[in-house]
Structure 1
Amino acid sequence: MRIRLIIAIWAAKLAAFLSQKFGWKGSSLPGVVARKLYQGTLRDLASQARKGVIMVTGTNGKTTTNNMIANVIKAGGFRIVVNQEGANLITGVTAAFVRYANWLGRINCDYALLEVDEASFPKVVNEVKPQIVVVNNFFRDQLDRYGELDKTVQLVRDALKSLPNVHLVLNADDPLVAQMQSTTGHLATYFGLASNQRNDGGTKQTRESRFCPHCGQELHYDYYQYSQLGAYSCNGCGFRRPQPDIAADEVETAGTMSRCRVSYPGGAAILSLKTQGFYNLYNALAAFTVGHLLEITTETILVGLLNYTPAIGRMETFIYKNKPAILNLVKNPTGYNEGLATLLNIKGTKNVFMAVNDNDADGRDISWLWDVDFEYLAEHHHNIEGFVCSGLRGEEMALRLKYAGVPLEKISVIKDMEQAIKEALKGPGQTTYLFSTYTALWATQKILLGLADKEVPHAQGLSSVS
């Protein structure tokens, strides 16, 4: 077995080298090569994590949450393996381990931190047994690939049931996630937000879950955070939002910063992030919860989260001619709605770029754009100077904006991505906000890097960590 593993590692590392040399992204290619040569590559490498494996799954926020956890654990002085770029299929997970392995197939790490795609989750846990699994949320995403949301939830639930012993970290505010404790029987720790924490109006959200996951009766909500996240209860079977073990209130945003007060068993503290977006507070709470379970000191957890910088397209900020440009990955209605809420919460005038592709990794079916609340955007278009639509389906994006009620004179379609981005950046707005689907993201970031500087966030207007 050792010889086959070594051969697979050498071939995979060669594939990675060639991929970089020829300028390909290739984040999963080494994993493809390794698994072709030796099917046990992932199992053998993952078993070398001394303290165990932590997985993050769910629809939105996997990459951000996983990287936040990585920052927290590194701040605690531990060595890690992490699929930082978001390659979350089984080949991408394998490639992450290959990257950290030496030429003899040995890995020196305490924890492996793995973001795992929901559909791939059963395959990955069949080979790697995690000690902790974080489930962020469940939303409709790529219907042509995943099918209906119930199917995705069942895939994750059944995979969790197959695990002999695992500690779940669950979003208390999402009924589709919170049910995982009772339906799997595993020990769970919950995180969530207190009521009335939004400082923006939010969009008219599509509610992904109206019915109780246990008995099927319609859920009653005291309030919503966004989509189906909020305080819910079922009059039929008594299922309700569990009391979070890690809870946040006093939410604040200023510039490119976010802040909240976190209550945890034994105390409370101020958590600050160098990134915006209301949904990122959920990601940070998940990471805080994992750090708390690993008995990392609260001060160390807070420092790790403060030092987190966004991965590609996760509210990544650039500076173009002294004006900010924010890049945001969008891939489903809920994520896009939250992006729109963040856009409209930014002070001053804005230029907007929207790239839509329909490659396999994006999902061929782009009908989900009609479930995004662009009507809310149209109602508040007065501070937006213009919308530049691009990508393989740029015309359909422009059509969607037209039917939402955005004035036609504000909409333009430019098929050439570089020209489209330049046009958006040159707009008169004080901020440029760039929305991009998955396969357009890398091209968009590459063009931005050639035109603008990456911003180093500052703690603008927020108190220091205490």
Structure 2
Amino acid sequence: MAKAIIWLVRFAGRGKGSSLPGMVSLKICPGILAHLAGQVRRGVVMVTGTNGKTTTNNMIARAVREAGYRVVVNTEGANLITGVTTAFLKAASPVGRVDCDYALLEVDEASFPRISQQVCPRVVVVTNFFRDQLDRYGELDKTISLIEDALAGLPGTRLVLNADDPLVARLGAITGREVTFYGLGEHSGVSSHSTAAREGRFCPGCGRELEYAYYHYSQLGSYRCPGCGFSRPAAGVEGSHAFSSGGTTGCLLAYPGGSRELVIPVPGLYNLYNGLAAFTAALTLGLDPDRIIHALGGYTPATGRMERYRYRGRPVLLNLVKNPTGFNEGLHTLLTLPGPVDVLIAINDNAADGRDISWLWDVDFEMLGEQHHRVNQVFCTGQRGAEMAVRLKYAGFPLAKIHVQEKMHRAVRDVLAGNGSIAYLLTTYTALWPVERILRSCARRDGLENLPSVS
């Protein structure tokens, strides 16, 4: 049944069939995920957290594949139980046999408890915790408690945790599981203060306000609690001397037994964290460090994760944004691009995006208002394009540079036709796929060698 649905969805051009087959199969046979996952020979790796799941998981998958192993992976980012089940169904034979060494699964935070019970992961990677879709997840404390409780019920699971996020790092002590921490040391881009909304402002143990030696972004940095002494743990895998150049991001990487230079072909400090997480997870699986470095250096971004295109000789970047922290980092990247930049912001409020768009007021669009000379024009589209334009107005962005276009295909073509040095498209989740289809119809996917330099 699942195989037939996958074929029909693709034949009808209605998508990639990344969720519906799993939904139908689970209705027919509720235990199908546990049955299929039980056939994985060497173990399951699960990646969860607020931001970076898709990129981190796909980076791990590339490293594991290049090491010669067969994998199951939900590449498209369908991370609910229906999408995870579909990933196994696609890999299975018509009689339900799965021939793979590892399953590498990106998993939604709210779905983590249910999925982890059925697949029994060997390794769990937690990237970060930020406020995201309050109307769906509730407050961040609720999301973290779901992960905590689920991890406590997974004996034998090893954790790979972000040492720089106090909300993530604490999971090691709470769960009592074996942990490998990864993190980023101090570098020239750190700040002595943070203006962004910090979910981890207070100690997750005693509630005292944390003290920071420096910040990378949001609550990520070097922290210590003056009350109970909780502090950033020593990272087993740590990056130093971080740099960005020519559309790449990298650092000097220290790990047990050696050090290497890590360079990944995507800009943005947050992507460097994804690379660190992927390297640590692959190292935990016993892969050769040199092979991992090589694999990450050839990583190709997934749809909307700083995906590169070229339109009539001009570079185009497509980036998914879904919460204040991720949007802020996307804007920081925008301001490092050679200007002026033509920008499109597509905001939808479907269930998968979050119905409540008040989170846009927590995004630091004021940085665009202050540096509007670097932006040629902004096209606002999607179901809530008009509200996005209002937000930009209150951020002090010049009204003459703001354009509201209800028709998404027109908005995409307008930003591509701009005369800036680069076009930068930022979209919420359900707006990503239509924007990507429009881009594919008129622009070509680009290679790293053609990406403009990032300062």
For Structure 1 versus Structure 2, the TM-score category normalised by the shorter chain is: over 0.9
Per-residue CA deviations over 1:83-141 (Å, capped at 9, x if unaligned) read 00000000100000000000110011000000000000001012110010000000000
Query: Could you tell me which residue of structure 1 aligns to residue 3 of structure 2?
Result: 13
Q: Which amino acid aligns with 2:416?
A: L
Say whether residues 1:246 and 2:237 are aligned partners: yes
Q: Which amino acid aligns with 1:382?
A: H
Q: How does 1:151-300 map to 2 (within 5 A)?
A: 151-198=142-189, 204-300=195-291
How far the C-alpha of 1:333 sits from its partner, in A, is: 0.1
Q: Which amino acid aligns with 1:367?
A: S
Q: How does 1:15-164 map to 2 (within 5 A)?
A: 15-25=5-15, 26-164=17-155
Per-residue CA deviations over 1:345-369 (Å, capped at 9, x if unaligned) read 1122100000000000000000000
Query: Could you tell me which residue of structure 2 aligns to residue 313 of structure 1?
Result: 304
Per-residue CA deviations over 1:360-386 (Å, capped at 9, x if unaligned) read 000000000000000111101102110
Say whether residues 1:458 and 2:449 are aligned partners: yes
Between the two proteins, the alignment pairs up a number of residues equal to: 452
Per-residue CA deviations over 1:284-309 (Å, capped at 9, x if unaligned) read 00110012112211110011101110
In structure 1, distance between residues paired with 2:92 and 2:164: 38
Does the aligned pair in 2 maintain the 1:202–1:338 contact within 8 Å? no
How far the C-alpha of 1:217 sits from its partner, in A, is: 1.1
| TM-score in terms of structure 2 length | 0.97
Per-residue CA deviations over 1:138-193 (Å, capped at 9, x if unaligned) read 00000000000000111111110111111000000000000001111101000000
How far the C-alpha of 1:237 sits from its partner, in A, is: 1.1
How far the C-alpha of 1:439 sits from its partner, in A, is: 0.2
Per-residue CA deviations over 1:223-243 (Å, capped at 9, x if unaligned) read 100000001111111110001
Q: Once superposed, which parts of structure 1, at least 4 consecutive aligned residues long, lie more than 4 Å away?
A: 199-203, 459-462
Alignment root-mean-square deviation, CA: 1.6
How far the C-alpha of 1:22 sits from its partner, in A, is: 1.2
In structure 2, distance between residues paired with 1:308 and 1:291: 14
Does the aligned pair in 2 maintain the 1:201–1:341 contact within 8 Å? no
Q: Which amino acid aligns with 1:273?
A: I
In structure 1, distance between residues paired with 2:372 and 2:296: 34
Does the aligned pair in 2 maintain the 1:56–1:115 contact within 8 Å? yes
Q: 1:347 to 1:459 in 2, by over 3 A?
A: closer
In structure 2, distance between residues paired with 1:302 and 1:152: 32
Does the aligned pair in 2 maintain the 1:203–1:341 contact within 8 Å? no
How far the C-alpha of 1:200 sits from its partner, in A, is: 10
Per-residue CA deviations over 1:373-413 (Å, capped at 9, x if unaligned) read 00111101102110000000000000000000001000000
In structure 1, distance between residues paired with 2:399 and 2:216: 32
Question: Identity over aligned residues, as a percent?
Answer: 54
